[in-house]
Amino acid sequence: MAGNARYTALLDACVLYPVSVADALMSVAVTGLFAPKWTTEIEAEWMGNLEAERPDLVGRLSFRRDNMREAIPDWEISEAAWRPLVGSLTLPDPDDVHVLAAAIVGHADCIVTANLKDFPNDVLAGYDLTAVHPDDFLVAQLDLDEIAALTAFKAMRARSKRPPFSPEEFADVLERNGLAATAERLREAAALI
């Protein structure tokens, strides 16, 4: 798996919904290891799902959304670009077709998603795409440039103020959110983060 600014990852809503997973991806992205992309429809999906689970957040997610947009100025794959492809694509879950369409027109190398079954390899291969779990993706970034990735995780941990997390607590949060292998790598490098 490559990891420079030309390597592009389309981020599915399910990896932007949990704040720790989204923060980990955004933190590593701003180092330049990869170029993340998403759509306004993907934004609406993660925000809607989070608001449905946490009604106290209704109307309060625009700050997080705007910070993500500011951190990654070229994040957007426009609806005008991906919408025409939707009718010609098929996936097990029709609600995910817009993600595949955006990945194709955004020249993505992979789709980062926790829902791997919804993006079968035999379908994606026809578009030179792969689906990658966020944990595997982040470990690959650590393998690619461990210093840059660890620096990103260190900065992410430093932003945790309520409460400030020890390296072990920080790794535990990531593990609880589906990033077990990433958490293990961070535990091994605890003195550096």
Same domain, 118 and 162: no
Give the pLDDT confidence score for residue 4 in this predicted structure. Answer: 42
When pLDDT is averaged across residues 112-117 and rounded to a whole number, the result is 97
Same domain, 41 and 125: yes
Same domain, 164 and 98: no
CA–CA–CA angle 171, 175, 176 (5° rounding): 120
Same domain, 160 and 100: no
Burial bucket for residue 84 (CB in 10 Å: 0-12, 13-18, 19+): exposed
Domain span at residue 122? 8-137
Residue 107 lies in a domain: yes
Give the pLDDT confidence score for residue 122 in this predicted structure. Answer: 95
Same domain, 59 and 77: yes
Residue 99 lies in a domain: yes
Same domain, 31 and 108: yes
Task: State the CATH number of the domain containing residue 69.
Answer: 3.40.50.1010
In three-state secondary structure terms, 15 is helix
Number of domains in the chain: 2
Residue 1 lies in a domain: no
pTM attached to this predicted model: 0.93
Residue 25 lies in a domain: yes
pLDDT band at 1 (very low <50, low <70, confident <90, very high): very low
Residue 2 lies in a domain: no
Q: What percent of the chain has pLDDT over 70?
A: 97
pLDDT in tens, 154-182: 999 999 877 789 999 999 999 999 999 99
DSSP 180: H
Bridge partner residues of 8 (DSSP): 35
Q: What percent of the chain has pLDDT over 90?
A: 91
pLDDT in tens, 28-68: 999 999 999 999 999 999 999 999 999 999 999 999 999 99
Residue 48 lies in a domain: yes
Same domain, 155 and 91: no
pLDDT band at 3 (very low <50, low <70, confident <90, very high): very low
Q: What are φ and ψ of residue 125, in 5° steps?
A: -60, -35
